[in-house]
């Protein structure tokens, strides 16, 4: 069938600059560029370009420019080019339109409508260059009180397992298979060096990365890929995945072509088979079932590891989180509307779920009203772009956040949203050996560590401005937030005052 989809981008090659070196041919995972031996010249197929910019960045003479192709459909506020082209795609394939990465729709981004506080005169701000600033966070269930022997001062309270992180930012669940092994290794190395945690995702963990076990969150998803006693024993935290922000209520699907031999070995499935994670875990059809799995995992690991339950931010997220805490979870991870993914039905990604800011506020308030906030840590995920977003999430009530897209961007990702194809030119969302090796784990880890270091410095500056020297004093401290341009109802959910009050 002849496609009637127009090319989205134009590849412009400056003939005066191009030296026909074919770097672009070699770098492009999309086979956009090709060498024509008859004319002895490099040319491009515009229609294949996804604007991942690999060729642009690597062209030694900067001869390439990628531009969005001007294509003036008749102006229509309802039938936008995106809507029309999605229909073209479906009429040509008869399938679900897939996409990668997170929601790119202009839903209100609450981080951009919240502003932070700073001290002036009555309370001195603290200069983080001169004074100690503490970002350490302990994840895990806390008790309601501490008991001490009044005579000997001996501690009588024994807390559930606690896991420290030195920066309140962890790496989101990204499975081996969805991302390359080198990226997995870069995340693991960076987590170890920065004193935080990475999340294996639902695809297990390659054996040689067990070295980073003290910084690993081992995910147990519906497919149970790669889940075995050693895997559970290895991790610092176990995470049961119920849902994901990019595709609430939807399972996972790693196409067979991405299931290479090493991926198959790690996932414990045959090479080349589709790895299907069903939407529900088939032993969890109720909150009681979830509780049983939580305690099964705790039993299996002798109560030495906190168990996290990850859900997508959806309408009744506060009530759901309350149930999860009462079911015995030590950590509730909530993934919001802008959470990313390797592959999701576009219609789900763009229309299901709620923004993470509202979910954090609702969950934190609900757990406090029920007097059980101490029983679990709250981890938020879904589109955190910078340290300002992170600190605002913490002020709303999160203990820490997960970053996925931001971490991949640090590794070179240009957010072309084509992760589901496995052809990532940057070697990130792919298992093709020739592409995967483009990420050097050591250099990648350094980029990630640098990112976390930069964010930490920025968070310390902002904390210092507030006159605060320990992160726990801003956690859930909504007085340090003000809303700009939000409705009364939104401010009520967020528990923040309008700016100026």
Given the rule CB under 8 A, which residues bind another protein?
Answer: 119, 122-124, 126, 131-132, 134, 136, 138, 140, 142-148, 150, 153-155, 157, 159, 162, 368, 371, 373-374, 466-470, 472-480, 497, 501
| Least CB distance to another protein at residue 218 (A) | 23
Nearest to 484, CA basis, from 466, 465, 497: 497
Q: Tell me how far, at minimum, the Cβ of 479 lies from another protein, in Å.
A: 3
Measure the CA–CA gap between 141 and 328, rounded to whole angstroms: 9
Q: How far is the CB of 380 from another protein (least distance, A)?
A: 16
Cβ at position 334, least distance to another protein in Å: 19
Between CA 31 and CA 284 the distance in angstroms is 44
Q: Cβ 192 to another protein, closest distance in Å?
A: 18
Nearest to another protein of 113, 375 (CB atom): 375
Q: Which is nearer to another protein, 168 or 427 (CB)?
A: 168
Q: How long, in residues, is the chain?
A: 501
Largest CA distance in the chain: 92
Distance (Å, whole) CA 122 – CA 100: 49
Q: Is the dihedral of CA 294, 102, 435, 439 positive or negative?
A: negative
Rounded least distance, CB 126 to another protein, Å: 7
In contact, 157 and 143? CB cutoff 8 Å: yes
CB of 184 or CB of 478, closer to another protein: 478
Secondary structure class of 189 (helix, strand, coil): helix
Nearest to another protein of 280, 495 (CB atom): 495
C-alpha 316/C-alpha 365 separation (Å) is: 13
Q: Identify whether the C-beta of residue 355 lies closer than 8 Å to the C-beta of residue 336.
A: yes
Question: CB-wise, 161 or 248, nearer to another protein?
Answer: 161
Cβ of residue 312: shortest distance to another protein, in angstroms?
26
Residue 78 or 152 having the CB closest to another protein? 152
CA 459 to chain centre: 19
Q: What is the DSSP letter of 244?
A: -
CA 164 – CA 18 distance, rounded (Å):
52
Which CB atom, from 83 or from 479, has the smaller least distance to another protein?
Answer: 479
Contact of 334 with 356, CB cutoff 8 Å: yes
Nearest CB to another protein, comparing residues 85 and 134: 134
Q: Among residues 267 and 475, whose Cβ is nearest to another protein? A: 475
| Closest to 482 (Cα-Cα) out of 108, 122, 113, 124 | 113
**Coil, strand or helix at 153:** coil
The three-class DSSP label of residue 110 is helix
CB of 112 vs another protein, minimal distance in Å: 22
Provide the minimum distance between the beta carbon of 239 and another protein in the complex, in angstroms, as a whole number: 20
Phi, psi of 468 (to 5 degrees): -125, 135
């Amino acid at each position: 069938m002849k496609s009637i989809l127009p090319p989205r981008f134009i590849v412009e090659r400056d003939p005066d600059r191009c030296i026909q070196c074919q770097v672009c041919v070699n770098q492009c995972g999309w086979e956009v560029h090709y060498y024509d031996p008859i004319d002895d010249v490099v040319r491009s197929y515009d229609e294949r370009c996804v604007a991942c910019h690999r060729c642009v960045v690597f062209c030694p003479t900067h001869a390439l420019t990628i531009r969005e192709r001007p294509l003036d459909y008749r102006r229509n506020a309802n039938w936008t080019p995106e809507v029309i082209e999605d229909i073209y795609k479906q009429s040509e394939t008869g399938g679900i339109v897939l996409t990668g990465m997170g929601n790119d729709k202009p839903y209100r981004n609450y981080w951009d409508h919240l502003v932070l506080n700073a001290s002036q005169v009555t309370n001195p701000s603290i200069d983080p260059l001169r004074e100690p600033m503490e970002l350490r966070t302990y994840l895990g269930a806390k008790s309601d009180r501490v008991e001490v022997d009044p005579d000997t001062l001996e501690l009588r309270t024994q807390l559930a397992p606690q896991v420290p992180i030195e920066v309140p930012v962890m790496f989101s669940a990204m499975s081996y298979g969805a991302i390359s092994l080198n990226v997995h290794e870069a995340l693991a190395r960076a987590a170890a060096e920065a004193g935080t945690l990475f999340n294996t995702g639902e695809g297990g963990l390659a054996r040689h990365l067990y070295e980073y076990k003290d910084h690993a969150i081992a995910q147990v998803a519906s497919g149970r890929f790669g889940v075995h006693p050693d895997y559970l024993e290895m991790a610092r935290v176990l995470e049961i995945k119920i849902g994901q922000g990019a595709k609430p209520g939807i399972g996972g699907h790693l196409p067979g072509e991405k299931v290479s031999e090493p991926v198959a070995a790690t996932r414990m499935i045959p090479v080349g088979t589709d790895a299907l994670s069903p939407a529900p875990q088939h032993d969890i059809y109720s909150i009681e079932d979830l509780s049983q799995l939580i305690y099964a995992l705790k039993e299996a690991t002798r109560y030495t590891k906190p168990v996290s339950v990850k859900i997508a931010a959806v309408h009744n997220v506060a009530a759901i989180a309350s149930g999860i805490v009462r079911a015995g979870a030590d950590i509730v991870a909530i993934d919001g509307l802008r959470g990313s993914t390797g592959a999701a039905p576009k219609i789900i990604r763009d229309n299901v779920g709620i923004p993470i800011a509202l979910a954090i506020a609702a969950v934190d308030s609900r757990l406090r009203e029920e007097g059980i906030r101490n029983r679990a840590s709250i981890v938020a995920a879904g589109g955190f772009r910078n340290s300002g977003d992170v600190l605002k999430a913490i002020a709303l009530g999160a203990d820490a956040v997960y970053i996925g897209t931001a971490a991949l961007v640090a590794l070179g990702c240009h957010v072309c949203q084509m992760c589901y194809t496995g052809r990532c030119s940057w070697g990130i969302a792919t298992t093709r050996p020739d592409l995967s090796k483009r990420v050097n784990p050591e250099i990648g880890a350094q980029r990630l560590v640098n990112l976390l270091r930069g964010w930490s410095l920025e968070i310390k500056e902002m904390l210092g401005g507030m006159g605060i020297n320990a992160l726990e004093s801003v956690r859930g401290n909504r007085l340090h937030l003000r809303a700009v341009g939000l409705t009364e109802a939104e401010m009520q959910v967020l528990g923040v005052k309008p700016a100026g009050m």
